[in-house]
A and B are shown apart, each in its own frame.
Chain A
């Protein structure tokens, strides 16, 4: 059903929205009108199915994260695998319960991000990270790894000189080059570790990304659905080598990822643009849960990674 619709809409140039979970068990596809009727709203770089004015709102948030002892136990399990070479890079994530002066729709309205999605009253995504996009028969991906508080002295220089960040970034670049090479030809690294700034409710951040490009086959519309599924789960939120790393993730995380760290994207009638579903808040019973995590390598320290995971519990806002 999903694949058939995906391919048919592509071939008939019918705009659509798609959402795929981390486990690839429950992919969803909607025409833009269907999405709106079902309460699925999106805003991808200004292309949206909802009339709203992004509002400025002060966000207050109280965090109730996984306790450190529990985190450290799971981190140490993962570290054994890293030392053994079972994985070179693994993304480990946990839920943090949050309490604040907002609902999911407020977050959708006031957050500032290139990729925003509100899925009914179930979850909201405000992701900075592109998964893949197409442009004139070419496909691009922008793995994002490495952040620093923008207010630190020489923040940009510190970030670029940080060896641990560099090694982790290199791993994700090689992983994403590999993944694009599975579905495209002539894969090249166009830009390496460029710096971008993000404003948040707490602090401003700098982050590093790279750009990788490949050439799609002339009739790529026929296979693009399968090709995208082949790339999942996305490298930046799983790790390398992927198969073994995903097993280790499942052994050590508390709950299924579901739509968190899956992807969502839109087809505008010509091209696809899609995001990795990070910066994700979901409603579980009557509680709000912010899910976050980070890439762990053999050089990672448990306390720093725990802090890093909590630092990502923020909402980027209009300024």
Chain B
């Protein structure tokens, strides 16, 4: 299996790599600002990394989501990548009054969903964001929520497209490795 990890000039990308190295996959990491969308067809799965600023600062993101929608290839967006998915499907991005950089919270997940398979309903996750998707767009299904009702994860109702606002690669997300493993098993 070939996986492409699109790096949005982030400094947590290699925490994702450190986890994915444990699995028997072929992994490429590419600077998302230099990556040509035509190359997406060489891969079986796509991961969009976290990153600074807004998803529109990285035009490749929405092209990758469109490609996944058309090709049915699994795609996982983390933080900025999650926000790109939310916006692509019509969700509204809002700025939080209090950003939550470096915070660990308890989060409620729908473990009947393949992304959270064999994971407890209540998990601790690490967060680094100052923007969120206000409500889950129609084409998507909410699969994780924070105690104060912030959308923390969604998936497409008919396509293997997943977003997590929290950071599975953070040391604070004890189930993060399992979540990435579940994505690889899709």
Contact = CB atoms under 8 A, between A and B. Distances in A.
A248 to B, nearest CB: 10
Interface in A152-194: 166-171, 173-175, 177-179, 181-182, 185-187, 189, 192
Nearest to A82: B99
B167 A174 contact: yes
B9 A177 contact: no
Nearest to B12: A178
Interface stretch (B59-67, B69-77, B127-135): B127-135
A224 B130 CA distance: 36
Interface string B31-55: 0000000000000000000111110
A170 B15 CA distance: 13
Contacts of B130: 82-85, 298
Interface in B120-139: 126, 128-131
A75 to B, nearest CB: 16
Contacts of B102: 88-89, 166-171, 174, 297
Contacts of B10: 241
B101 A174 contact: no
A186 B18 CA distance: 7
Majority SS of interface residues in chain B? loop
Contacts, number: 101
B15 A181 contact: yes
Interface size band for B: 20 to 34
Considering residues B17, B101, B102, B170, which has the most beta carbons from chain A within 10 angstroms of its beta carbon?
B102
A244 B10 CA distance: 9
Considering residues B14, B50, B126, which has the most beta carbons from chain A within 10 angstroms of its beta carbon?
B14
Interface size band for A: 35 or more
Contacts of A299: 98
A177 B10 CA distance: 13
B14 A179 contact: yes
Contacts of A186: 18
A172 to B, nearest CB: 8
A268 interface: no
Contacts of B103: 167, 170
Given A175-B12, A241-B11, 9 more contacts: A85-B52, A85-B54, A85-B130, A168-B102, A170-B102, A174-B128, A181-B14, A244-B53, A297-B102
